[in-house]
């Protein structure tokens, strides 16, 4: 995969985000060299690159501002106030963005997900990630199914994903069933929680937050932005899988499906 190494990846950090190390590791495993830059340096434009100089930006998981007011809200408010033009330039230049957990919440509150039906982005929030139906944070592995024929670049060649879900506010909500239908029709739904039968589910614990129709991840109209609640950054090698220690041959049994998302995104960015 020539080119992967040349993909410029930005991982902003700080303010209570906490998954930057494993997210950076994912890219390193794949041969890229991500830049970890504190949000304050991006705000102050002290970093020698602007957002538009990057091919990929990952909004990592964590607890930016402690999930105070609502998950991702304070950070999104600050980005909107201080970096909107840079973000617009990044998107208009064809950049790829991934939001994981708190990062998904942040992209949603920035209005990038689900985003408008047609580009360009208008930064208008259209959905919420509400407190889990069964209240409280929960850390447990879940299974996700990639939506057939999704345009999402981050999911190209990926079918099924086993990853941990680790959040307290992940119930994707829009204004009514009709709006949900519309989102599905336009291909915004990228990932769903599935039950043991492999079908989308609203049932706990397979769906940890009770989201309608099992929605776990959303993509925008371009397919270059993906937000998801569970953590692909937590399954980068076979021994991340909780059952690896009791398997004779974990390496062939547990394909790291979290890493697959990063690989797909990186390859899409490399070939643009």
Partner 1 sequence: MPDVTRIEIAMRSGFADSRGRAVARRIRTHLGIAVRDVRTRDVYHVEPALGQEDAERVARAFAGPVTRIGAVGRIPEDGADWDVAITVGYRPGVTDPVGKSARVAIEDLLGRSLGPDAAVYTSRVYLLAGVSLEQGQRIARELLANEIIERIDVRSWDEFAGGPVDLSVPKVSATAVPPVETIDLELSDDELVRLSRERLLALSLDEMKAIREHFRGAADDPRRRAVGLTGAPTDAELECLAQTWSEHCKHKIMNARIRYEEPGRPPEIVDSLFATCIKGTTEQLDRRIREREGRSWLVSVFHDNAGVIAATERHHLVYKVETHNSPSALDPYGGAITGIVGVNRDPFGTGLGADLLSNVWGYCFASPNTHGEVPRGLLHPRRIREGVHQGVIDGGNQSGIPYARGWEYFDERFLGKPLVFCGTVGRMPVEVEGHPAERKRCRPGDRIVMVGGRIGKDGIHGATFSSAELTEESPVQAVQIGDPITQKMMFDFLLEARDRGLYSAITDNGAGGLSSSVGEMAEQPGGARMDLARAPLKYQGLAPWEILVSEAQERMTLAVPPDRLEAFLELAARREVEATDLGEFTDDGMFHVLYDGRTVCWLPLEFLHGGVPAMDLSARWSPPAAQPLAPLPRPEPERMAELAIEFLARENLASNELISRQYDHEVKGLSIVRPFVGRGADVPSDATVMQIDHARWEGYVLAEGVFPGYSDVDAAAMAEAGVDLAVRRVVAAGARFDRIAALDNYCWPDPLPAPDNPDAEHKLAQLVRASRGLARACLAYGVPLVSGKDSMKNDAVIGGRRISIPPTLLVSAIGLIEDVRRAVTLETRGAGDLLVIVGETRDELGGTEWARARGVQPTTVPRCDPERWAGRYRTVSAVIRDGLVRAAHAPGRGGLLPALFRMSRAAGLGVEVDLDVLPRDGEPGWEALLFGESCGRFLLACAPDRREDVVRRLEGVPCAVIGRFVERPVLGVRHEGQVLLDIETGRLAEGWLRTLADDDAGEGDRA
Residues that bind partner 1 (CB under 8 A): 13-19, 21-22, 25, 28, 38, 40-41, 44, 46, 61-63, 65-70, 73-74, 77-78, 80-82, 109, 124-128, 130-141, 164, 166, 173-175, 233-234, 236, 239-240, 242, 244-246, 248, 250
Contact 30, 256 (CB under 8 A): no
Report the C-alpha gap between 265 and 98 in whole angstroms.
9
- Euclidean distance between the first and final Cα of the chain, in Å? 13
Nearer to partner 1, 149 or 176 (CB): 176
Cross-strand partners of 226 = 98, 219
Task: Report H helices in 93-176.
Answer: 102-109
Contact 264, 226 (CB under 8 A): no
Closest separation in Å from C-beta 253 to partner 1: 12
Closest separation in Å from C-beta 189 to partner 1: 16
Nearer to partner 1, 187 or 238 (CB): 238
Nearer to partner 1, 25 or 156 (CB): 25
Contact 92, 58 (CB under 8 A): no
Closest separation in Å from C-beta 241 to partner 1: 10
Nearer to partner 1, 150 or 207 (CB): 207
Strands across the sheet with 138-146, in order?
A: 35-38, 9-13, 56-59, 96-100, 225-228, 215-219, 189-193, 138-146, 160-167
Closest separation in Å from C-beta 43 to partner 1: 9
Nearer to partner 1, 38 or 151 (CB): 38
Closest separation in Å from C-beta 26 to partner 1: 9
With the CA atoms of 75, 269, 266 and 167 taken in that order, what torsion angle do they form, in degrees rounded to the nearest 10?
30
């Amino acid at each position: 995969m020539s080119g992967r190494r040349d993909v410029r990846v930005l991982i902003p950090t700080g303010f209570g985000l906490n998954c930057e190390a494993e997210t950076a590791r994912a890219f390193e495993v794949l041969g890229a060299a991500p830049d970890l830059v504190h949000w304050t340096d991006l705000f102050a434009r002290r970093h020698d690159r602007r957002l538009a100089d990057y091919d990929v930006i990952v909004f990592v998981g964590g607890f930016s501002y402690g999930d105070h007011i609502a998950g991702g809200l304070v950070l999104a408010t600050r980005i909107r106030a201080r970096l909107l033009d840079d973000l617009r330039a990044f998107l208009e230049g064809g950049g790829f963005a991934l939001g994981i957990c708190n990062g998904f919440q942040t992209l949603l509150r920035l209005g990038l997900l689900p985003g408008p039906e047609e580009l360009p982005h208008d930064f208008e929030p259209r959905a919420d990630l509400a407190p889990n139906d069964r209240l409280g944070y929960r850390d447990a592995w879940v299974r996700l199914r990639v939506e057939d024929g999704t345009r999402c670049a981050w999911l190209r060649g990926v079918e099924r994903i086993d990853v941990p879900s680790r959040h307290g506010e992940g119930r994707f909500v829009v204004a009514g069933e009709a709006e949900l239908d519309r989102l599905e029709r336009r291909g915004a739904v990228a990932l769903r929680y599935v039950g043991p039968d492999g079908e989308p589910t609203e049932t706990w614990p397979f769906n940890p937050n009770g989201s309608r129709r099992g929605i776990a991840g959303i993509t925008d109209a371009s397919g270059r932005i993906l937000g998801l609640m569970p953590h692909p950054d937590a399954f980068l090698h076979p021994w991340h899988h909780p059952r690896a220690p009791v398997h004779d041959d974990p390496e062939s049994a547990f394909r790291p499906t979290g890493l697959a998302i990063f690989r797909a995104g990186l390859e899409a960015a490399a070939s643009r």
